[in-house]
Amino acid sequence: MTAATQKRVMIVPCSGIGKAYGSVGREAMYTLLEDSRPGSTDTVCLSLLTLGDADAQAEVRDHPTITIDGCPKACAKVNVEAAGGKPVAEYRVFDVYRAHKELKVRSVSELGDAGRQMAQILAEEIAAKVDELQSSVNSQQSPVKPDC
């Protein structure tokens, strides 16, 4: 199955503007979309979900969706659910920090090496989940029978 025929996994990070962990979550999402899982992943704008945009809501209802939240308010998860979606996985940036306390984000506007490393760790965890979802979809499809 090619990336074009696979069902894309939506990655929805929190907006977290002005929050260091929100910046880490967005960086992890960009890593997935641009580097590690291009073609298999996509995103929608969280503010469009919040505003009730029909196209954004359809995306999270029609595709497996993973949320990334930077704080306990879980705005990404809450808004995906309010749009009628059900996250197949939920990630919290703070959980990565808890497991890697040596990594301190430099600032909101400049993550620094440690913040980028934290985003990379999160992206790798999510990439494994994307792979799991993709292989699950592949195994549910019937095999192609050769022409005789």
CB 22 within 8 A of CB 14: yes
Long-range contacts of 133-140 (CB under 8 A, 24+ apart): 133/9, 133/64, 133/88, 134/6, 134/9, 134/40, 137/1, 137/6, 137/7, 138/1, 138/6
Domain count, the chain: 1
Domain assignment of residue 70, given as a range = 9-127
pLDDT for 17 beyond 90: no
88 within a domain of the structure (yes/no): yes
Query: Higher confidence at residue 94 or residue 16?
Result: 94
pLDDT for 147 beyond 80: no
Q: Which element (helix H / strand E) includes 6?
A: none
146 within a domain of the structure (yes/no): no
pTM of the model: 0.88
Q: At 74, which CATH number?
A: 3.40.50
144 within a domain of the structure (yes/no): no
CB 119 within 8 A of CB 24: yes
Q: What is the pLDDT of residues 83-141, one digit of tens each?
A: 999 999 999 999 999 999 999 898 888 899 999 999 999 999 999 999 999 888 666 65
24 within a domain of the structure (yes/no): yes
Return the pLDDT at 1.
40
Residues 72, 64: Cα–Cα separation, whole Å: 22
Structure tokens at 52: 């009730």
Return the pLDDT at 4.
43
51 within a domain of the structure (yes/no): yes
Return the pLDDT at 67.
98
137 within a domain of the structure (yes/no): no
pLDDT for 143 beyond 60: no
140 within a domain of the structure (yes/no): no
Q: What is the pLDDT of residues 32-74, one digit of tens each?
A: 999 999 999 999 999 999 999 999 999 999 999 999 999 989 9
Return all residues near 107 (Cβ < 8 A) that are at least 6 apart.
20
49-62 burial, b at 16+ Cβ within 10 Å, e below that, comes to: beeeeeebbebbee
Mean pLDDT across 21-28: 94
Query: Higher confidence at residue 115 or residue 17?
Result: 115
Query: Which of the 8 DSSP states describes residue 71?
Result: S
How many alpha carbons lie under 13 Å from residue 112 in its C-beta half-sphere?
A: 10
83 within a domain of the structure (yes/no): yes
